[in-house]
Chain A
């Protein structure tokens, strides 16, 4: 059954019922600044524009819809409160938003590790560099540079970085998958991160 759009609450309706302007980083940044001024309409628009991205990120880490929904709710309340801390020069807007949600998801996972299990299928789900056409338009240069730098890592370390960042794997999860002591994993991660930093700065 399709809900009658007229029955939806006003601000949920707005962004769903007509074509919103493209979600450029500039528009997202502007919405965050308006949210900082306690603008509820901007908050609804920001949610419409970004919630699918944040939910995708959190769900991939927690693999449980109800759990992910809780973290998303928590994240948007944090966004409401922290919006005034957002600084254009220091963060790209979508990264800033995704980071708040990722942090919430990983905090949850580390505190309740029994909530999900990792499995080697997730390794096969590492597609490398699939992005939607729209996302490819966004700042392609930087994306390519990060992927270029990740490509220079040894294969195992490429997978480790992606499994950790995208799927929320802990040092222990990685240690058991790659059959290495936890301290070795930590050393590998540090080397990989340093190598990435150097490569991105070059």
Chain B
């Protein structure tokens, strides 16, 4: 199976609706950056779109359109340049959700990255995964490898440098762990982290989970949640057959 087929199936499941939240978020952010992904999504939407005809229309309450118009007034009264972002942010807080693609813009944001196991079934699952955490989407900042079988992690810096008075902190987020990221640990002076820090997590959960690294005050986040700017990257299986 080729990488393209994998992407096509990921997109197909995205459109069908069966992808987990982390993979949906991953694809939605890729869609904004990659016209090819957007085109694949539109193709699958066209393929499956006729299914929607099976759903009966439901009349909305008359009040709903008035609410939408009011919200639109707010959007349009904001200066043009700020409109796009401020509206998106307003919507997000309204619906209380977390969108990875723009989360990086907010100070407390932690951009987490899906571990995507692009493994053809039913071949054996890759046991080792590597994440490249990139700074400014240019140079790799960190490499994280996760051995799912042994539940061992290894993290090492590539271009990341120690920051005086600051610590790097690794986070995990998964549906089963609740809505907020959970700390895996604070990286030591030599960027080291206990290799068993993930041993309490189920391998299946780790595979679906998302990871991120944030910059925190020395010693780690004072709040238990990421507070500083984040570095993000993508996680790939290392022994896949792509």
- Contact indicator A190/B121 (Cβ below 8 Å): yes
**A164 interface neighbour in B18, B39, B42, B58, Cβ under 8 Å:** B18
Q: Known contacts A99-B49, A186-B121; is A44 also within 8 Å of B65 by CB?
A: yes
Residue of A nearest to B179 (CB): A111
From residue B28, how far is it (CB to closest CB) to chain A in Å?
A: 8
How large, as a class, is the contact surface on chain A? 35 or more
- Contact indicator A131/B16 (Cβ below 8 Å): no
- Contact indicator A165/B17 (Cβ below 8 Å): yes
- The docked-state distance in angstroms from the alpha carbon of A189 to that of B21 is 17
| Interchain pairs with CB closer than 8 A, number | 179
- The docked-state distance in angstroms from the alpha carbon of A56 to that of B235 is 37
Q: Hey, which chain A residues are within 8 Å of B57, CB to CB?
A: 52-53, 55-56
Majority-rule SS of A interface residues? helix
- The docked-state distance in angstroms from the alpha carbon of A71 to that of B95 is 8
Residue of B nearest to A16 (CB): B62
Q: Known contacts A95-B45, A98-B52, A197-B47; is A189 also within 8 Å of B71 by CB?
A: no
- Contact indicator A183/B60 (Cβ below 8 Å): no
A60-95 vs B, CB cutoff 8 Å, 1 = contact: the mask equals 110000000111111011001100000000111011
Interface residues of A in 113-146 (CB under 8 A from B): 113, 127-132, 135, 138-139, 142-143, 146
- Contact indicator B50/A143 (Cβ below 8 Å): yes
Q: Hey, which chain A residues are within 8 Å of B76, CB to CB?
A: 38
- Contact indicator B55/A60 (Cβ below 8 Å): yes
From residue B38, how far is it (CB to closest CB) to chain A in Å?
A: 9
- Contact indicator A57/B55 (Cβ below 8 Å): yes
From residue B37, how far is it (CB to closest CB) to chain A in Å?
A: 14
- Contact indicator A102/B121 (Cβ below 8 Å): no
Which residues from chain B sit less than 8 Å from chain A, CB to CB? 9, 12-13, 15-21, 24, 28, 39, 42, 45-62, 64-69, 71-72, 75-76, 84, 87, 91, 94-95, 97-98, 121-122, 175, 179
Which residues from chain A sit less than 8 Å from chain B, CB to CB? 3, 8-9, 11-12, 38, 40, 43-44, 47, 51-53, 55-57, 59-61, 69-74, 76-77, 80-81, 90-92, 94-96, 98-99, 102-103, 106-108, 110-111, 113, 127-132, 135, 138-139, 142-143, 146-147, 150, 161-162, 164-166, 168-171, 174, 183, 186-187, 189-190, 193-194, 196-197, 200
Task: Please name the 10 residue pairs, one residue from A and one from B, whose CB atoms are nearest each other, closest first.
Answer: A95-B49, A52-B57, A110-B21, A193-B12, A187-B121, A146-B50, A56-B58, A143-B50, A106-B17, A56-B57
